[in-house]
Amino acid sequence: MMIDIVKVFLPAVGAFVLGVLLTPILTNYLYSHKMWKHKAGKTALDGSEAKVFNELHKEKEINTPRMGGIIIWFSAGLVMFLIWSLSHILPTESTIKLDFLSRSQTWVPLATLILGALVGLVDDYLEIIGSRQEKGKGGLSLRKRLMAVSVIALLCAWWFFDKLDVVGIGLPFGLNGGELYLGPIFILLFLGTALFIYAGGVIDGLDGLAGGVFATMFAAYAGIAFYQQQIDLAAFCATVAGGILAFLWFNIPPARFYMSETGTMGLTITLTVVAFMTDRLGEGYGFLVLPIIALPLVITVFSNIIQVFSKKFRGKKVFLVAPLHHHFEAIGWPAYKVTMRYWIFSLVCALLGITLALIG
């Protein structure tokens, strides 16, 4: 038990420390190369100008660098690599037990974290370069980003279905024998979940908001995985949470940089993978508690959907601006109040999700 606790917490602390130490190097590069949008302005989901958002954020949009999410995946990945290397260079009982890079639990989530982050990094870079041009447009289109997420998600879904024999989701309290059989429909469920959670990545809109929410969600799944004796996966989730906290250290108001796509794309796809890893593979209910643990993302997505449909079919808006956290900002809440209340809400959701996962 003690070595398992060390295995989970030590890399989390290591990712935080490494992230904090590496941030000055990254920020020096980002600021010296002016890696931010050079023209303020955002387009709403229906293609119209996001006037309220642009008015609230016109100064920050052009003065704060993007790509801050590099700290998260780079520090987490580096810690995993260092521990794995140590276990092979100095193969003692302790170093071997600390290694949590395993085919059965962490290869897939690590791959999605890196792949999603790299695609997001390309998008961030293209958007910055594009903003320097006269038309001020850049970055991958929404369709291309959704295609990238879909390809990664389908590869993961196929791996779960074909290689790991996952054909359903867990049901609590012994209902239907403890499993809802889905067969090939499982692949569609995985894809839909990944796209939905990715859509919630737009929560990265206020200083400190996304960092606090994502750190809480990954910490929650670390707890669930640990309870289910998926120690390698628990260590992975805790390490990612440690990397997010390092990012958050510098992202709290006033933010030194934004997480942007290189953070949100990798984290959202990986969150989906972790939810399914803690489901049938861990004999748990990781998928069913995902809407609870990730409720801030769920609310973010639905507020966007409600806004778009209301404008299309009713000709008027429900919120002053969507997603919901910007609505609160628009009605007069200071940005830090919105952020901190989302942190509290996210923590309550995580605790509820963990509780339901354990008693199921």
Q: In this predicted structure, what is the pLDDT of residue 105?
A: 96
Count of domains observed in the chain: 1
Q: In this predicted structure, what is the pLDDT of residue 117?
A: 98
Q: In this predicted structure, what is the pLDDT of residue 42?
A: 63
Q: In this predicted structure, what is the pLDDT of residue 52?
A: 61
Q: In this predicted structure, what is the pLDDT of residue 246?
A: 98
> Mind spelling out the 3-state secondary structure of the chain?
CHHHHHHHHHHHHHHHHHHHHHHHHHHHHHHHCCCCCCCCCCECCCCCECHHHHHHHCCHHHCCCCCCCHHHHHHHHHHHHHHHHHHHHCCCHHHHHHCCCCCCCCHHHHHHHHHHHHHHHHHHHHHHHHHCCCCCCCCCCHHHHHHHHHHHHHHHHHHHHHHCCCCEEECHHHHHHHEEECCCHHHHHHHHHHHHHHHHHHHCCCCCHHHHHHHHHHHHHHHHHHHCCCHHHHHHHHHHHHHHHHHHHHHCCCCCCCCCHHHHHHHHHHHHHHHHHCCHHHCCCCCCCHHHHCHHHHHHHHHHHHHHHHHHHCCCCCCCCCCHHHHHHHCCCCHHHHHHHHHHHHHHHHHHHHHHHHHC
Domain that includes residue 124, residue range: 2-359
| Average pLDDT per block of 10 residues along the chain, 360 residues long | 92 98 96 84 58 61 89 98 96 93 96 98 93 73 96 97 95 87 97 98 94 98 97 98 98 94 98 98 96 98 94 90 93 95 98 93
Q: In this predicted structure, what is the pLDDT of residue 53?
A: 60
